[in-house]
Amino acid sequence: MSAKGSTIIVIGTIKQVEPARWTTADGRRPANPQAARHVIFRPVTLEVERYLKGQLPQQQLRVFAWGGSIGKDRFEQYPDYLYTFRVGERVVLFLHLYDPTGIEAGLQGVQFWGPVEHYTITTDNQAVNFYRTVPLQQLLDEITMTLGK
């Protein structure tokens, strides 16, 4: 669990998963993708239900979901389950502030959060990710214990 290494931890619902785009200023393919320092990603909008670590005034956060396909171009990021989201999915996300300046110069001024850990909350209150399935309350207790609250 990456509770201490995350800037914020939230429970929320995925409200929007935008189509894949390049990290160029206009979202379009760079002239030479192999030489460019741009990648394909999907902007995701998360509606925050509750902050478990950290506190921000925003009730909506933008998540940087690496990977996707645009025409003949495909970018995959391992582990892909960390970056796969569905509209309506209720989640526990461990996030760090992702600074898209530098290689993704086209995203300057947009605050994105990068997932460190991603749990999906099932209808029977289980927290599920690639590694394990635990009762949601157990996960919340683990987070609380790890953070020393």
Residues 75 and 42: beta-carbon distance below 8 Å: no
Report yes or no on 3 lying in a domain. no
Q: Which of 1-5, 9-13, 113-117, 118-122 has the lowest mean pLDDT?
A: 1-5
Report yes or no on 2 lying in a domain. no
Report yes or no on 18 lying in a domain. yes
**Rg of the chain's alpha carbons, rounded to an integer?**
16
Report yes or no on 69 lying in a domain. yes
Report yes or no on 125 lying in a domain. yes
Q: What pLDDT band is residue 105 in, cutting at 50, 70 and 90?
A: very low
Would you list the DSSP string of 32-67?
STTTSS--EEEEEEEEEEEEEES--S-SEEEEEEE-
Each residue's pLDDT tens digit, 46-92: 999 999 999 999 899 999 998 899 988 888 877 678 899 999 999 99
The residue with tokens 């393919």 is: 29
What's the confidence (pLDDT) of residue 107? Answer: 61
Strands 68-70, 126-128: pairing kind: unpaired
**Domain containing residue 109:** 8-147
Amino acid in position 87: V
Number of folded domains that form the chain: 1
Report yes or no on 41 lying in a domain. yes
3-class secondary structure per residue, 59-81:
CEEEEEEECEEECCEEECCCCHH
- Tokens, residue 57: 């005034």
CATH number of the domain within which 27 lies:
2.40.50
